[in-house]
Structure 1
Amino acid sequence: MTNLTIDQILKRNDMPRMALLRQLNNEGYSIGKCSMRNLAEKNQCPRRAPVAAVRKALGHLLGNNIKQEELDTIFKHQPNGGNNKVDISQPVYGVIELLQTNDLSQMQAINALKQDGINISPTAMSQILRHGIWPKTVERADIETSLTAWIAQFVTKRQLNNMWKVRGVTVNATPKKPLTTVPDVAVKPRITFEQPEPEMLNQTTLRHFKLSRHPFENEIRSESDLFMSEQQVMLREAMVQATLGGSIMAMIGECGSGKTETRKGYMEYIRRHHPEVQVIEPMVINKKRLTAEMIFDALAEELMLTTLPGSLERRARKVESALKRSVKAGNRHVLIIEEAHDLTNDVVKYLKRIWELSDGFNRLISIVLIGQPELAQKLAPSNYEVREFSRRCNVMQVPPLGRSLTEYIAHKFKRCNVNYLNVIEPQAIDALQLRLQAKVSYGMAAKASEHQDMSYPLIVNNWLVCAMNLAASLGETVISADVIQELK
């Protein structure tokens, strides 16, 4: 066995280099792409990832698909290459080491601090990082908190927990008041969005605006109560097509973005236009405890199977036979799982097996997942464990109201038999739209700050309730742009 490289081992197991890079990062060893190339092609272990660490990562990644003899061959020319007892306990990282291993500069750190309103000079930054000398004009906790939040997008949690360890002493940064953050899968930017504290709509406010009931309680009693913008209609149509086409779809949206209402609209549409579709929804509150057995139990209940075998394989065969009979009778089936961001990787892999059930060219069941942005992380290409499912899944994002904001407000007040213009001025809606823009900062000078629309129904409802209460307390007949600006 000669000239065996890590690249050859990875290719033999149909794995990209990035899989090993992610595994090393997960185990606390952060290396750059150049170091990864040298490691894969030349078996050269970088300074930040010793031989024992790479051996351990390969073992975790490939399991029984790699032999100890092959590992010995790969690392035979490395220092300590044959020693499996090298201490690879958690390394101690300082801020400056994290900057160096992630190709970040001190100037980028300074620019990140500036975006949080903290101005320090390059000399002061160098004194902090190299000598532990802190400036007297800025609170130390503010600097630590800002740097921690910025560098978190580049490093692992394990490294982050150790970044303030200096000479064996850990310095804990005092956290600021938490801001509303919205995770982004690809870049993980910091999204800052301030909004007023949630309030109840006062009875005096209801009387002030001549309302008989709360316009934002979201009690959906009929299809007419649903607000369906053009984009939400498109989402519903995508769910319908996934159901009829036997495919997999994931609907992902922020908390309060209208996922549940869109699902209700889809269910009503299916009931009226496609009565042949049987909807299966496993009734498990804690989706982290959902298992393949529970899913098959839900399928069996919908198919009216009274008894099921104990083993999962026999249970699957019996359910498959019942699905085939149901399809031949003219029925279609769709499995819908809400709060799907809580599903474990094992369950997601089982869902792919369930979706593969077929009768010839006909799929026996479609799958629709509904969840928060964490579901996008679970289905991301970086999650190698569920790649068989995620590569077959059509992911749809629930958009904010955006240009439909006025229509949404008008719809809500129309349900109360009130013209929205008797409650809020058009200029106030424009002012509200501006305040619903979040600041997206990347912490790097190379990429300027951006804005993200946060006009999701739940957030809009909160703003309008606060604005109505404030307008009523001030004796304003309608909500004006000045009232929106006064909200804190």
Structure 2
Amino acid sequence: MYKAHFCLRELPFGITPDTSFFFACSNYQAALNTLLIATNNGEGFIKITGEVGTGKTMLCRKFMSTLDDSFVTAYIPNPSLEPRPLMLAVADELEIVLEKDVDQHHLMKSINLRLLKLAEQGKKVVLCLDEAQALPLESLEALRLLTNLETEKRKLLQIVLFGQPELNLKLQNNTIRQLKQRITFEYDIAPLTKDDMAFYISHRLNVAGFTGSRLFTHGALRRLYRASGGIPRLVNILAHKSLMAAYGKGRQQVGPANVRVAVKDTFSSKPHSWFWRLLGGSAFFFLFIDMAVDYFK
């Protein structure tokens, strides 16, 4: 691979959520601050949304690692579960030992007792659910009922929902309007700006051990931003492939031609020619064709 070629300790653009690479630009730092303020205030529900690839899982893990010892965290990465399996997953995360084939009443009672015991120890419990847009409506309602558990002073459980924008649409459903009212803090993660993307790339290279002055040329960064739209996951994929292309050519710097090779090899990258930017995608393309056909009839 290209690590030795570019004097790197590790690969800088992996797509796994390694918190050592967390990039604290204004957007992500604001989201993290929202989470920390809300949980320290003891809020019941907190919501973080963002498009696919904007770094929600990375933010979630960074948030959990930032909390001090007064917090107990539970993490469910794939919550597309019906209410009972979801409650069993919560119990497992809270290290609750259950009897085989426990009924719903005793399951909820066990969770409540565990939360009370942790509260007596001065602990705050935070449950983080990634990909929350996949939660069935019945499971969202079960989570709302779970947050009814409280002492006279505070909630026994705080829940953070991390999800794609589809989560917002799901929360519009009238059957879970009570849950929507309980979301007191929320933040929407936007893609990186062009300047932030340049700093993001530099940051990840530095963390990976790069000590040179500039590895990606200005032209490479411009092409990379056009193709990725500032979506961190796409930036990582394209930057990684660009480094491979430069290495394959024996180059010490990544140029626009190397990024072009990476874009051609990446199905999910954004169309970047002037024609597609002008037409704005396939919908406008077919509209353009229909207009042309009508004109020449």
Mark yes or no: TM-score above 0.5. Answer: yes
Are 2:258 and 1:462 aligned?
Answer: no
Counterpart residue number, 1:237: 33
Aligned in 2, Cα 1:430/1:392: closer, same or farther, shift over 3 Å? Answer: same
Counterpart residue number, 1:278: 72
Aligned in 2, Cα 1:320/1:214: closer, same or farther, shift over 3 Å? Answer: closer
Equivalent residues in 2 for 1:229-308, closer than 5 Å = 229-244=25-40, 245-270=42-67, 274-282=68-76, 285=78, 287-292=79-84, 294-295=86-87, 298-299=90-91, 302=94, 304=96, 306-307=98-99
Are 2:258 and 1:478 aligned?
Answer: no
Look up the equivalent residue of 1:340 and give its one-letter code. Answer: A
Equivalent residues in 2 for 1:13-412, closer than 5 Å = 203=1, 205-206=2-3, 208-211=5-8, 213-218=10-15, 224-244=20-40, 245-270=42-67, 274-282=68-76, 285=78, 287-292=79-84, 294-295=86-87, 298-299=90-91, 302=94, 304=96, 306-307=98-99, 310-379=102-171, 381=172, 383-393=173-183, 394-402=185-193, 403-412=195-204
Aligned length: 260
Deviations 1:361-402 (A, max 9, x none): 4211100112223222212x2x22222212322432222121
Aligned in 2, Cα 1:303/1:428: closer, same or farther, shift over 3 Å? Answer: closer
1:311 deviates by 3.7
CA distance in 1, matches of 2:88, 2:248: 56
* 8 Å Cα contact 2:14-2:237 kept in structure 1: no
Q: CA RMSD in A?
A: 3.0
Aligned in 2, Cα 1:352/1:434: closer, same or farther, shift over 3 Å? Answer: same
1:235 deviates by 1.5
Look up the equivalent residue of 1:469 and give its one-letter code. Answer: M
1:483 deviates by 4.6
CA distance in 2, matches of 1:470, 1:297: 44
Deviations 1:2-25 (A, max 9, x none): xxxxxxxxxxxxxxxxxxxxxxxx
Structure 1: tracts of 5 or more residues without a match: 1-202, 437-453
Aligned in 2, Cα 1:416/1:384: closer, same or farther, shift over 3 Å? Answer: same
CA distance in 2, matches of 1:363, 1:216: 39
CA distance in 1, matches of 2:73, 2:11: 32
Look up the equivalent residue of 1:229 and give its one-letter code. Answer: C
* 8 Å Cα contact 1:249-1:367 kept in structure 2: yes
Aligned in 2, Cα 1:331/1:469: closer, same or farther, shift over 3 Å? Answer: closer
Look up the equivalent residue of 2:189 and give its one-letter code. Answer: V
| Among candidates 199, 206, 216, match of residue 414 of structure 1 | 206
CA distance in 2, matches of 1:421, 1:255: 32
Structure 2: tracts of 5 or more residues without a match: 265-297
1:464 deviates by 1.6
Secondary structure, in 3 states, of the residue corresponding to 1:455? coil
Runs of 4+ aligned structure 1 residues displaced above 3 Å come to 205-213, 218-221, 303-311, 419-422, 469-477, 481-488
Secondary structure, in 3 states, of the residue corresponding to 2:80? helix
CA distance in 2, matches of 1:408, 1:319: 41
Aligned in 2, Cα 1:427/1:360: closer, same or farther, shift over 3 Å? Answer: same
Q: TM-score, normalised by structure 2?
A: 0.74
Larger RCO (alpha carbons 8 Å, 6+ apart): 2
Percent of matched pairs sharing the same residue: 21
CA distance in 2, matches of 1:243, 1:305: 27
